[in-house]
Amino acid sequence: MPRENNKKGISRREFVRDLAGGLVVSCLGSFAKPLGAQSGIQNDLFWVKSVPDDPYYGAGQGNYHIGVDALLNLMGNRGLKFYRSSVQSNLSGPEGLIGPDDVVLIKVNAQWKYRGCTNSDLIRGLIQRILDHPDIFTGEVVLFENGQGRGSLNCDTSASYGNKEIHANANDESQTFLYLVNHTFHSPRVSAYLLDPIRGTFIGTDDHQTDGYRTYENVSYPCFTTTNGRRVELAKGIWTGSSYSQNLKVINVPVLKHHDVGGAEITASLKHFFGVVSMSDGQSGFRHYGGLGETGGKMVGSVATPVLHIVDAIWVSLSQLKGYPAKATVRTSQILASQDPVALDYWASKYILYPVDNNPRHHPDFSGIDAWLTQARDTINSRGGLRNPSKGVVVGKVTKNEAEMRVSSSVPAILSVAGKINDENSQGTAVADVVLRGFPVNTVSDSRGVFNSRVVSGWSGEIRPEKEGATFVPEKRVYSNLAANSSAQNFVSLKTIYAPLDLTVRQLAVLPRPRGGVQVLLAWRPNAKNDDRNITKYRIYQVLGGQKIALAEVDAVTFRYIHRDPKNDVPSTYVVVAVNNLGREGAPAATTIVPSAVSVEPRNILQKRDIKNRRT
């Protein structure tokens, strides 16, 4: 059972011993439950460690973030799918979080700059993954924040800094939230909204035009129209003009840091949601002290439950709320996520922030933190918990008890999946420009037919090659929880053999024996798309009573066939396929007739019609 810690917290040695003792469940190992009494609550936390200092896959690989990808794969391996889709994969399923037409609000910390704001490299990777929805994302991603009069999505706030310089929390400090919107993505699907200008405007329940705040009990929530005309009313949904649609999702992305002495002590997911409520109603003092846990719990439990909280611990601030100067911050290169904000804040403070500085006031057992964590837990649970399957939220009651937390961890390593694509001929000619769908980054075979894609350890996926006019063997390759480089992942490209054109079938005259009886004439035209497919013959089948019967083969310059003595008065389907020099059949042409013993054409039909149909 987890050890009770005294108010002074635990030492670094004890912290390491706890980890070695099995509190953390590896994503690559079995999913054993933590030790301790089981209450029925087992809330998942997902912990990505050692995110590379350069978090992207490399030049030309776009906005994909190794830490974000490792997190989403870790979640998927645990059954929490990021995408809501009929497509079943490690990242998607019918009970996933983000639908293709959702309006996704990403709550960032933009009240501060430098390392006091949310890491915009992480946000960049998160936006890209939303836009990559397998069903094609047609919704809108909105970065939003209420800095209570001091916020800036351009990371140039002067409050507490004395300058208007731009300093994003990113490897490139010019990559602000607005830079991502206006330059990196520059798409109608990505926008931003700063709530500061409307924080003092309070509107009624029937006002669907004015941007402002509505009160809910002793808190409030924003109502605003996005850049692309969607009316967000946070506690209700998306106003459509007559009713609310529920395709509104919130992802909460706080930066982990010291907050203040005597108040919250730390900022993580719950305190970060104070950047949603308006403090212009005069209750700021109550919310920041005596009502801190109640406010956070009420906002995430009753106003707008995020489908995911992601704690940004790439850099953590040890003693300065503003994330400046640099010596007050430490790179820990970690990301921690959960749908349970209480468990998340408990774990982040105890196992990420506290071990860095050993400050007992940053430990969740410290009375100040414990008080608001308890208050938030009780507020949420007394209102029925968080569970909302329609939005993919699977957590019910929240917890600050480690025995009720199930932690999966991952240290992302970059692995390669490589192979070659050749055609089906014995020489194995390389096939270029084949798109490999399913990799985390865009992957195309080169002039040698070679592809080599980078993935994170723990990656699961399904790869399908695509090129117009071709099919492939195998059709796909499936990977699960990849732990090592994978080579020789080869495919054979098969040029599509197209169906013959204009297949017709008709019954000829009933002729006398021995050459007589019922006769059925099939005729077709060659498909010009097959001119480079090395067609050597056509194969004719009859499908009768569900059984496919091979009737005959004719050479590549014959485009007719007479079937003698078919079974009468029974529906008969005829199928003609082109066959290449390797014996591979193409797409079928098919048609159906019911032969009859009654003559339907003149006896001398063969003399009267030129039914020879040969290429001259």
Tell me, yes or no, whether 268 and 152 share the same domain: yes
- What pLDDT score was predicted for residue 481? 87
Where does residue 601 rank: exposed (0-12), middle (13-18), buried (19+ CB within 10 A)? Answer: middle
CATH number of the domain enclosing 489: 2.60.40.1120
pLDDT at 517 over 90: no
Rounded-to-integer distance, Cα 487 and Cα 151, Å: 49
Identify the pLDDT of residue 34: 40
Residue 479 falls inside a structural domain: yes
Could you tell me if residue 385 is left (phi over 0), alpha (psi between -120 and 50 degrees) or otherwise beta?
Answer: left
Judge whether 370 lies within some domain. yes
The predicted structure's pLDDT at residue 461: 87
Write down the pLDDT at residue 597: 72
CATH number of the domain at 358, please: 3.40.50
Confidence (pLDDT) at 599: 52
Q: Which of 166-170, 283-287, 441-445, 606-610 has the highest mean pLDDT?
A: 166-170
Phi (first) and psi of residue 514, to 5 degrees: -85, -20
Domain shared by 530 and 474, yes or no = no
**Do the domain assignments include residue 62?**
no
Residue pointed to by tokens 């084949």:
434
The answer on 209 and 275 residing in a single domain is: yes
- The arithmetic mean of pLDDT across residues 602-612, rounded, is 42
**36, pLDDT greater than 70:** no
pLDDT in tens, 529-564: 999 889 999 999 999 888 999 999 999 999 999 998
Share of the chain above pLDDT 90, in %: 78
Q: How sure is the predictor about 60, in pLDDT bands with cuts at 50, 70 and 90?
A: confident
pLDDT score recorded for residue 606: 41
Identify the sign of the CA torsion 350, 352, 355, 356: negative
* Residue 546: predicted pLDDT: 87
| Site of tokens 């991952």 | 410
Over range 81-85, report the average pLDDT. Answer: 97
Per-residue pLDDT of 290-322, as tens digits, reads: 999 999 999 999 999 999 999 999 999 999 989
Secondary structure class of 110 (helix, strand, coil):
coil
Position 511 scores a pLDDT of 63
Residues 535 and 580 sit within 8 Å (Cβ to Cβ): yes
Quick one: pLDDT at residue 353?
Answer: 97
Per the structure, how many domains does the chain have?
3
Residues 505 and 461 in one domain: no
Residue 54 lies in a domain: no
Cis ω on the peptide bond leading into residue 514 (within 30° of 0)?
A: yes
Q: What are phi and psi of 597, to 5 degrees?
A: -75, -10
Annotate 29-84 with three-state secondary structure: CCCCCCCCCCCCCCEEEEEECCCCCCCECCCCCCCCEHHHHHHHHHHHHCCCCCEE
Q: What angle do CA 363, 160, 361 make, to 5 degrees?
A: 10
Helix, strand or coil, per DSSP, at residue 161: coil
Stretch 137-148: mean pLDDT, rounded? Answer: 97
The H-assigned helical ranges of 204-307 are 269-272, 284-288, 292-298
Per the domain annotation, does 81 fall within a domain? no
12: pLDDT strictly greater than 90? no
Mean pLDDT, residues 215-222 taken together: 96
Tell me 139's DSSP state: S
What is the token pair recorded at 489? 């992942």
In the predicted model, what is the mean pLDDT of residues 485-502? 95
Looking at the structure, tell me whether residues 429 and 283 fall in a common domain. no
Instruction: Determine the Cα–Cα distance for residues 575 and 539; give it in Å rounded to an integer.
Output: 8
- Cα–Cα distance measured from residue 305 to residue 607, given in angstroms and rounded to the nearest whole number: 82
Check whether residue 490 and residue 543 sit in a common domain: no
Residue 375 lies in a domain: yes
Per-residue pLDDT, 563: 94
Which residue type does 108 have?
Answer: V
Query: Three-state DSSP class for 107?
Result: strand
Asked if residue 121 is part of any domain, the answer here is yes
Confidence of residue 13 (pLDDT cuts 50, 70, 90): very low
**What pLDDT is attached to residue 427?**
78
Nearest-CA neighbor of 300 among 240, 380, 409? 380
What span, in angstroms and rounded, lies between the C-alpha atoms of 196 and 209?
A: 18
Mean pLDDT of the chain: 89
CA angle 455, 461, 466 (to 5 degrees): 95
The pLDDT value given to residue 514: 58
pLDDT at 14: 39
Picking from 221-225, 501-505, 515-519, which range would have the lowest pLDDT averaged per residue? 515-519
Same domain, 298 and 373: yes
pLDDT, residue 9, reads 39
- What is the b/e burial string over 402-433, where b = at least 16 CB atoms within 10 angstroms of the residue's CB? bbbbbbbbbbbbebebbbbbbbbeeeeebbee
User: Which whole number is the average pLDDT over 580-594?
Assistant: 93
Q: Of the candidates 495, 515, 544, which is a domain's last residue?
A: 495
State whether 188 and 322 are in the same domain: yes
Distance (Å, rounded) from C-alpha 221 to C-alpha 203? 10
**Domain-ending residue, one of 464, 495, 526:** 495
Mean pLDDT of 440-458: 92
Confidence band, pLDDT 50/70/90 cuts, at residue 568: confident
Contacts of 400 (CB under 8 A, 6+ apart): 342, 343, 346, 364, 370, 373, 374, 377
The last residue of one of the domains, among 363, 383, 403, is: 383
For residues 240 and 122, membership in a common domain is answered with yes
User: Are 461 and 89 spatial neighbours (Cβ–Cβ below 8 Å)?
Assistant: yes
Q: Containing H/E element for 562?
A: strand 560-564
Is-contact 459 75, C-beta < 8 A?
no
User: If we measure between CA atoms, which residue out of 196, 249, 189, 253 comes closest to residue 224?
Assistant: 196
User: What are the residues facing 107 on neighbouring strands?
Assistant: 144, 252
> Torsion angle, CA of 84/87/93/98, rounded to 10 degrees?
-20
DSSP helix/strand/coil, 575: strand
Question: Which residue's structure tokens are 């997190």?
Answer: 71
Say if residues 578 and 497 touch (Cβ distance below 8 Å): yes
Residues 450 and 559 grouped into a single domain: no
User: In this predicted model, which residue has the larger pLDDT, 427 or 334?
Assistant: 334
Under the banding of pLDDT at 50, 70 and 90, the label for residue 598 is low
Ranges 11-25, 67-81, 412-426: which has the least confidence: 11-25
The answer to whether the pTM exceeds 0.85 is: no
Query: Residue 590 maps to which CATH number?
Result: 2.60.40.10
Dihedral sign from CA coordinates of 124, 105, 84, 72? positive
pLDDT, one tens digit per residue, over 226-256 is 999 999 999 999 999 999 999 999 999 999 9
Domain that holds residue 306: 102-383
Same domain, 461 and 317: no
82 in a structural domain: no
Give yes or no for residue 5 having a pLDDT over 60. no
**Residue range 149-203, pLDDT digits in tens:** 999 999 999 989 999 999 999 999 999 999 999 999 999 999 999 999 999 999 9
Is 580 strand, coil or helix? strand
Model pLDDT, residue 425? 83
503: pLDDT strictly greater than 60: yes
Q: 512 pLDDT band (50/70/90 cuts)? A: low
**CA-to-CA distance for 409 and 464, rounded, in angstroms?**
29
Percent of residues, the chain, with pLDDT higher than 70 = 89
State the DSSP H helix or E strand holding residue 244, giving kind and residue range, or none if neither: strand 244-245
Half-sphere exposure of residue 310: CA atoms within 13 angstroms, side-chain side? 28
Within 81-223, residue ranges assigned H as helices are: 120-131, 177-179
What is the per-residue pLDDT for 516?
58
| More confidently predicted of 108 and 602 | 108
Q: Are residues 468 and 536 in the same domain?
A: no
If you average pLDDT over residues 462-472, what whole number do you get? 93
